[in-house]
Chains A and B, each alone.
Chain A
């Protein structure tokens, strides 16, 4: 006798039933957890921005954010202004940190103007200008926040990634890599925008020379490193006009 589960009609009914059950389960779970996930992502953005300007719980070697409970309060305390740079205008907008850089990049591609968020923070009498950047690594998206002073010298950087290889490209969010950017200049000596290159075969692995526009690359993570170089060059260049007006040029 033919087995019940070998029949075509059974197979089709089972397939349809399974798709409905699994689809409903996942849709229900995703929509009921959505508010919590969005809230976590919002707090993470605040933590990232604070991290870049040096408000963090770092110990000797590991990178730690301020706790999620403290993030909203510290964000209000340290971030003095949130700007949206649209063409030549800089407008204040206290929701600027929620701007989705990915969507804005897509807009720019379609010929629309891209809104550029910039966060002005103050700590110990020093002013930080923090800009979000986003680009492509080897497997998926990479992004980050870079804190600059008014001469576009890096004061702090935070990088993150969606799916870079653990142990290789994923190391861009390690302290040894992120800390190398501190003090690096984005501009060359004559004031043109040069960016920072993640360079292999760098003659300066201890990163003593801060004006060479280079940091040491990670072994085995060439494409992720190139992605970091590209997103810094592409996205931070857009802020150059604002920094020039800041310096009265």
Chain B
């Protein structure tokens, strides 16, 4: 397998940013109560991390090491604000859906983490692939967590009632099934992430640290 394709594939499983590197946990807890929000967040992070990694990689030889974290923060904040402004002017409806995520993206540690760990030491193309790979790995976990939380918490997927109507008591609800309101609260996201980590490490023992 080529070195470049590993940059995309590794973060999807054995070097997943959330379950292995433990980056981006806060947003994984905050916005996964619904599948749709998980998908929107994943796409936004894909864009910001891909572009941000390239920008940081291009600047890597001129960034003063003493203030590199501040420089990284400014780059990501500028990128996100530019996108937000352009969307507000040309795609207002979309910007309203995304505005909630702006703050979450800027403070997402996965972005700073990849700038610091990869883009500062690698060329633009490899940094771009690393950004895309990590954003995809992040997105996969977000979507899995969002899927289970929305299904078990609200009985819906992407807002569509898949288990019947809880108020009219149709479908599964006619048999006495109830939505689990706990699933809507953030701690349950951590427990779902924990279960994913458990499954992943029991399948690949090499991932278990001493």
A contact set with B: CB distance below 8 Å: 3, 5-6, 10-11, 14-15, 18, 22, 25-26, 29-30, 33, 36-37, 40, 44, 61, 68, 160, 162-168, 170, 205-206, 219-220
Contact = CB atoms under 8 A, between A and B. Distances in A.
B82 interface: yes
Contacts of A168: 33, 184
Nearest to A220: B184
Contacts of B86: 29, 33
A129 B69 CA distance: 53
B37 A22 contact: no
Contact of B82 (A18, A26, A206): A26
Interface of B: 30-34, 36-37, 40, 61-67, 70-71, 74, 78, 81-82, 85-86, 88-90, 92, 96, 99-101, 103, 149-150, 153, 159, 167, 181, 184-185
Closest 6 pairs between A and B when the two form their complex, measured CB to CB: A167-B33, A167-B34, A166-B37, A220-B184, A11-B64, A36-B89
A6 B36 CA distance: 45
A25 B85 CA distance: 12
A14 B67 CA distance: 9
A170 B74 contact: no
A239 B145 CA distance: 45
A13 B66 CA distance: 13
Secondary structure of the B contact surface, majority rule? helix
Contacts of A68: 92
B140 to A, nearest CB: 19
Contacts of B65: 3, 5-6
Given A167-B34, A168-B184, A33 B85 contact: yes
B31 A165 contact: yes
A25 B89 CA distance: 16
Contacts of B37: 166-167, 170
A5 B33 contact: no
A205 B167 CA distance: 7
Contact of B34 (A18, A29, A166, A206): A166
26 contacts: A10-B64, A11-B67, A14-B63, A14-B64, A14-B67, A14-B71, A15-B67, A25-B78, A33-B85, A37-B89, A40-B92, A61-B159, A163-B100, A165-B100, A166-B31, A166-B36, A166-B40, A166-B100, A166-B101, A167-B33, A167-B34, A167-B37, A167-B184, A168-B33, A220-B33, A220-B184
Contacts of A36: 89-90
Contacts of B31: 165-167
B48 to A, nearest CB: 16
Given A10-B64, A167-B37, 6 more contacts: A15-B64, A15-B67, A33-B89, A37-B88, A61-B159, A170-B37
Contacts of B63: 5, 14
Contacts of A3: 65
Contacts of B89: 33, 36-37, 40
A30 B85 contact: yes
Given A18-B71, A168-B33, A5 B62 contact: yes
Contacts of A6: 64-66
